[in-house]
Structure 1
Amino acid sequence: MAKNKILSSRNEADINRRIERVLKDLGNPEPPLRLDQVRELLKIDFGYYSASDPGLLQETVHRFRKGGHDFKLKAQKLIQVVKKFDLRALFIPAHNRILLDKDEPTPKHRWNEAHEVAHSLFPWHEGAMLGDDKDTLVPSCHDELEGEANFGAGRLLFLQDRFTQEALALERTIDSVKFLAQKFGNTNTSTFWRCVETWGQETPIVGLITGHPHPDKRASDFDPAKPCKHFIQSRAFAAHFSKIPETDTFDQVADYCTRARGGPLGSDRVQLTDDNGDYHIFEFETFNFFHSVLTLGIYVERKPTFVAISAGA
């Protein structure tokens, strides 16, 4: 399922306290946040591996040992974990070390690194890192941990309430997403995710991260049963529209999108059904950033209900 995990308010508060401590110890820096300073503060070692090159993982372990570290985790174990979970980054708690997959596109490295930093800040995650524990391998547990790391990474990279205040002062549009991405030094995709969360605390907002929606532009491996890379629900959206299938929403987006190779693909008013079966109108806009297509849907109003009255009434 592409839908994001909504954390409990208590869990979010705990994560916020941990991120706040890091930012305070850094002197509450201005954007963009420098992750090398975060690693220095937390004394985290850093390196690269390649999911497509097992030899590089073995070499990484060898170099780490030569550096005087008692590296007990075998390279073969790392290779097995990377392949099993299709990892793009990993945190090794015993050695306080983050490894990034060098084959990943460079723009993704910043988010992947922050995600692993977040894992390092949560002691309850340690048992799940690189392990095959019967509980941590349960999908619901894995999703919970990844949701916490994503939330923590977002709060770190976007400097907590600094981003919240600036985002709420702007119009809720893709143009605002692009502006905030540049200011905070993060990708449009990760900024888009944070905007949906921030703007949608009280107003139902949904965000779709997909390939090109137009039937003529879809990738050869497009799966109509799973059309979204991510289906981002704001807290208010999840509270009232949790039953909406991502397929239905994607199909409505595809109906108005043009075949344009990049840039704006279109906008329209889209009808969505809430959990009680009532119809509501959302304003949707879609923008193609080439590597991904972002669709922002913002609640407008409940659809008026018309009752037919006979002439003889």
Structure 2
Amino acid sequence: MTQTIAITGATGQLGRLTIDALRSRAPGATLVALVRDSAKAADLGVEARPFDYHKPATLAPALAGVDVLVLISSSDFNDRAGQHANVIRAAEAAGVRRIVYTSILKGVASPMILAQDHIATEALLAASPLTATVARNGWYTENYTGTLAGALQAGAVAGANASGKISPAARADYAEALAVLASDDAHAGKVYELAGDEAFTMPDFAAEVSAQTGRDVPYAAMSKEAYAQMLEQVGLPAPVAQIFADSDACAAEGALFDDSKTLSRLIGRPTTPLKDAVAAALR
């Protein structure tokens, strides 16, 4: 039977990659992009339906006929859990069979401020009559490689994690996992801790950048408070800077490390190596 799989945040970076992965992993599925601005979805090549978290009454109609909903967590730090609650209620009303949700590595055990909305959403899913699959994603490698231009200009990679190991993976790796989880009901009711195969420290990251650029780019370890202040100085709103600095400090204690290799087993290949991710960012 042909499944209809809908993806929230479909015009975002992870959403677009997930649609690409679903085309490959589930060629017989009908894909639906749920987007706030339909014009931005014109190049996706799939049906696009208006989907605005702030207009709850419009959500259930957009989910009509959807079997599996990939709920990519909202990027709104102000009301993420509330938005997710709106989507879950709409999915229940529309008769969606299963939700695949992108949570955070370690879930309820994560000490990060950022984890609180994910913990709340996981609780909502557990209480819902819907079947859920939870993908507890680690950090994107792009969270680090995306800062390289600024780091090279400053002459150092800065942060509040001097020695804690992290296990990030590329967005494309996580997107492929979402496609696997969404296209096979064998994953219903399960929770997966997903992270990259390769663990490294931030000094290791800085050393890789140095090796590939031929420049000395050290890691500048800062306190959580000093790092938050630096992030504010480069333009982040204070609450967001505090969340990012807290995440880095928690990573120093192991919050972003996982060596289970569940992600690579799911997608059937190794996750993207750090050296490849750095090389791609420097091109």
TM-score under structure 1 length normalisation: 0.23
* Structure exhibiting the larger radius of gyration computed from Cα positions: 1
TM-score under structure 2 length normalisation: 0.25
